[in-house]
Homo-oligomer: A and B are copies of this chain.
């Protein structure tokens, strides 16, 4: 059973997961990711994954059969286990709980070689809708406080399978970075009585040097204090705390259009770089809070400069976000 352990000095929780050691990628003895025929995420290999939790099946084919355009399955090498109680306890000076949670894989396409940037807006919209459905389902489990949606694309970015997929992890705690944002947003709200994310959007539209693209419902920008070259955040223009409660009229169409645009720009300007994205949302059950605003962060993995950033929280970014924005806007796709 994996464990959640808390750093006693800075209140950071870590998953200590022995199961993960059995994954394909570990300690440099890398098994190359499986090729198309042997890939557990490919169409026709449904028996190589655990039973599906959700799928898009345009011809209403039965679960776990071959005709699908998107599937969500439990991770075969989960960081957390779905069964059991948290059993929170102190161990001397330290704090721990059982590593209870869910870890799911969103298989974004049945085709082995396809990437998100080669998909249609509709396909990507289906990916977001899958994130929503799974989040709403996991939210019902009262042991969980947060669902983290993220994607690792490319082996440099941490992907151990080539087949295009993203992941959801349901957690009994709120990740530290999200908590920090919530606390920062709350401090600003108490001072200004406004959402800091809404204020950032207004300021960026006014300045107009870091806005990469916008449409009716979403805006993409290079953050003023970008940690990484070509880092981009996508935010809903209207105030919304929860990713999963995004308004049904748009239904993630506009963020799909913008994400596709950005990934195609990355392909062109940065030569199809590895990247990570993650969705930050308010944790379950906090009501219609005014101080937090869900958004997506996208980080191309371009530099190797991140050597010590983990240990210091200090980032050095060689590309000013204004320059990154200009590059991206000037390049045609």
* B276 and A311 contact, CB distance less than 8 A: yes
- Say how many copies of this protein the assembly contains: 2
- From the candidates B5, B12, B150, B229, name the one contacting A313 in the complex (CB within 8 A): B12
Q: For this complex, into which size category does the number of interface residues on chain A fall?
A: 35 or more
B-side contacts of A303, CB under 8 Å: 25-27
- From the candidates B26, B278, B313, name the one contacting A312 in the complex (CB within 8 A): B278
* B225 and A14 contact, CB distance less than 8 A: yes
Is A74 part of the contact surface with B, judged by Cβ < 8 Å?
A: no
A307 to B180 alpha-carbon distance, docked (Å): 20
Is A60 part of the contact surface with B, judged by Cβ < 8 Å?
A: no
Q: Mark A199-240, 1 if CB is under 8 A from B, else 0.
A: 110010011000000000000000111111100000000000
Within 8 A of B (CB), among A225-271: 225-229, 270-271
* A313 and B175 contact, CB distance less than 8 A: yes
Shortest CB–CB separation between residue A320 and chain B, in angstroms?
Answer: 5
- From the candidates B28, B207, B225, name the one contacting A13 in the complex (CB within 8 A): B225
* B225 and A12 contact, CB distance less than 8 A: yes
Is A54 part of the contact surface with B, judged by Cβ < 8 Å?
A: no
- From the candidates B3, B10, B17, B197, name the one contacting A180 in the complex (CB within 8 A): B10
A139 to B92 alpha-carbon distance, docked (Å): 38
Is A157 part of the contact surface with B, judged by Cβ < 8 Å?
A: yes
Shortest CB–CB separation between residue A76 and chain B, in angstroms?
Answer: 15
B-side contacts of A21, CB under 8 Å: 318-319
* B184 and A92 contact, CB distance less than 8 A: no
Shortest CB–CB separation between residue A293 and chain B, in angstroms?
Answer: 10
| Nearest B residue (CB) for A273 | B28
* A310 and B316 contact, CB distance less than 8 A: no
* A15 and B316 contact, CB distance less than 8 A: yes
**Chain A residues near B (Cβ < 8 Å):** 3, 5-21, 23, 25-28, 79, 92-94, 148, 150, 152, 155-160, 171, 175-178, 180-181, 184-185, 188, 196-197, 199-200, 203, 206-207, 223-229, 270-271, 273, 276, 278, 280, 297, 299, 301-321, 323
30 A-B residue pairs with CB within 8 Å: A6-B225, A8-B196, A8-B224, A9-B180, A9-B196, A9-B197, A12-B225, A12-B313, A12-B315, A13-B225, A13-B314, A14-B225, A14-B316, A15-B317, A16-B225, A16-B317, A16-B320, A18-B318, A19-B318, A21-B318, A25-B304, A26-B302, A26-B318, A28-B302, A93-B200, A148-B312, A150-B307, A158-B304, A158-B308, A171-B314
Which 3 residue pairs are nearest across A and B when measured between Cβ atoms? A158-B307, A176-B313, A177-B313
